[in-house]
Structure 1
C-alpha cells in the first residue's frame, strides 16, 4: 500500500469516527432548540455556543447575552451558573455586577466566580463543571486567542455539553475565527437602548444585535435586535423601534443601594 493511499484511508477513517461520535450528540442537541418564525429561538441546555464581539470594550454586552440565556436554564435541580475567567482579566473586562443581575431577575447567589491562571486550566475547569449535575451553564471568558482552544478542544466541550445537558458559552473577542465544533456561533454588538418612557434623552432598556454566523442546529443566517422581557431575551422588530417597546419589557423596579457592595446609600 502506497504512502498516499494509506494517508487517504486514515483520513477517511478519522472522518467516519468523528461523524459517529458527533451524530448522537448533534441529534440530541437539535431537540433542545425551538424555532418560532420572526422570534429569537428558545435554546435549551446541552449546547456549546461561541459569542464573538469585535472589541473587548463590548465584553459587558457579550456577558449579558450569555447570562440572559443561562438564566432561562436555571431550575431547582440545576441552580448554579459557573463563570470562568483568567486571573487578572477582571481588571480589563470587568466582573458581573450583583445589583445589575438582580434588576434582570438573575439571583447573584446562583453565580459562582472561578479564576484560573491560563486557558488550559480554564478548559479543564469547564469540563469538570460539566460533570456536575447541579450546574445549569458554564460561561468561559476567553480574553485572547489561544492555540490550545482548537477544534479538538471545542469538540470535547461540545460532546460533554450534549451528554450532560449543561450549556457552555465561550466569550470571544476580535474578528478572527478558528475551526470549531460549537453548535452555534454568534457575533454580538450592543445596540442603542430603547426609549425611556417620559424622557427620550435618557437611556432605556438595553438592546443587543445578535448575528448568527454559524448554526449547525439552525439552518439559516439571521440577525436579531434583542431586548429583555420578563421571560428573557425577546426579538424587537425594526419597524417598531420608533415606539421602542416590548410587551412586559424590562424589570423597572429600583435596586436597593445596600446591594452596591457596601457603598453608602447616598452614593
Structure 2
C-alpha cells in the first residue's frame, strides 16, 4: 500500500499531467486534426514526437518525415529548425543534403546543424534550443539506444516544448520502446512504391507506411501511406497493385537532379 508521501507525489504527478493536457498547444493540435479528414494532419507546434523505424537504412525517410512537419512550423518569427546529431553518427546515418532539401521545398538556410559529443549534451542542447523563440522545431537524431533518454528526460522536453510552442522530434531506431512523455509516437516502414511513369512494372516514387503507436490527439485514423512532395506530404490510400488513389498533395513529377557538389560547403 502506498505511503502518504507516495500518494501525495502521485497526486501531484496526476495534476501535472492534467495541466499539460490543458495546454493551448494540445487544444490547438486537436482542433487542427479535427478539421482535416483523410490527409495526414498538419500538426500544431508545442509537441514532443517520437519517430521510430526498425532499421537504420530508413534514416533518410525518418529525417524527411520530421523535416516535412518542421517546415510547416516555420514562420516570420520562428525562422530556424535545429538538427542535433551525435558527433560520431554522421558517418553511419549521413547528414542533411542541401540540394536535396531544396528539391522538396525546404530552405537549407533555415536548418542549423549541431553535433554533440554525447547524449547528455544532445539532450541539454535540445532543451535549450527549443526555449529560443526563433526556433520552430528541434530534430534530435538518437542513433542508438540511450539510457539517458528516459521518462524523466522526455518529460522535461515535453514540458519545455509545450511552454514555448516549438516542437521536438526524436528520431529513434529499433523495435524497443521505453516509457515516454511524448505526445505522439510514430513508426515508419517502407510501403509499396508508386507505378513507374513509363513502365507499370518498374518502381516509381517512394512510399512509406506511417503508423501511430501512441497519442490521443489523432483518433480517427492511425495509419497513413505517404509520399514526399514539393510542399510536404501526399497522402495515399493502401490499395491493391493496379490501383493508385491519392488523397492530397502533388507528387514530384520527375526526379530532381542534385547540383554538383563541387564548390558547395561541406555542411550544405
Q: Same fold (TM over 0.5)?
A: yes
Please give the TM-score of this superposition, normalised by the length of structure 1.
0.87
Q: Higher mean Cα deviation, 142-151 or 178-187?
A: 142-151
Query: TM-score, structure 2 length as denominator?
Result: 0.87
1:12 and 1:50 mapped to 2: Cα distance?
A: 25
Structure 1 residue runs of 5 or longer lacking an equivalent are: none
Shift of 1:110: 1.1
Q: 1:226 aligns to what SS in structure 2?
A: strand
In 2, Cα distance between equivalents of 1:97 and 1:82? 14
Task: Please identify, of 214-223 and 196-205, the stretch whose mean Cα deviation from structure 2 is larger.
Answer: 196-205
Per-residue CA shift, 1:41-74, capped at 9, x if unaligned?
A: 2211111100001111111111111111111111
Change (3 A) 1:175 1:254: closer
Q: Residue in 2 aligned with 1:28?
A: 25
- Quote the residue 1:59 is aligned against: 59
Contact 1:195 1:245 in 2 (8 A): no
In 2, Cα distance between equivalents of 1:109 and 1:204: 30
Aligned length: 259
Q: Structure 1 residues 182 and 4, CA, compared in 2 at 3 Å: closer, same or farther?
A: closer
Q: CA–CA distance in 1 between the matches of 2:133 and 2:224?
A: 32
**1:108-119 equivalent positions in 2, closer than 5 A:** 108-119=108-119
Q: Distance in 2 between matches of 1:256 and 1:87?
A: 26
Q: Does 1:153 align with 2:153?
A: yes
Q: Tell me, in whole angstroms, the C-alpha distance in 1 between the residues paired with 2:241 and 2:165.
A: 36
Match of 2:124 in 1: 124
Q: CA RMSD in A?
A: 2.4
Shift of 1:232: 1.2
Query: Shift of residue 203 of structure 1?
Result: 4.5
> Would you say the 8 A contact 1:32–1:43 is kept in 2?
yes
How far apart in 2 are the matches of 1:186 and 1:253?
27
Q: Does residue 19 in structure 1 map to residue 17 in structure 2?
A: yes
Tell me the equivalent position of 1:69: 69
Structure 1 residues 154-169: aligned runs within 5 Å = 154-169=154-169
Cα distance in 1 for partners of 2:108, 2:262 equals 12
Deviations 1:56-109 (A, max 9, x none): 111111111111111111122112111000011011111111121111111111
Structure 2 regions of 5+ residues with no counterpart? Answer: none
Contact 2:50 2:170 in 1 (8 A): yes
Question: Does the 8 Å contact 1:230/1:251 carry over to 2?
Answer: no
Structure 2 counterpart of 1:231: 231
- Give, in whole Å, the separation in 1 of the partners of 2:161 and 2:42: 17
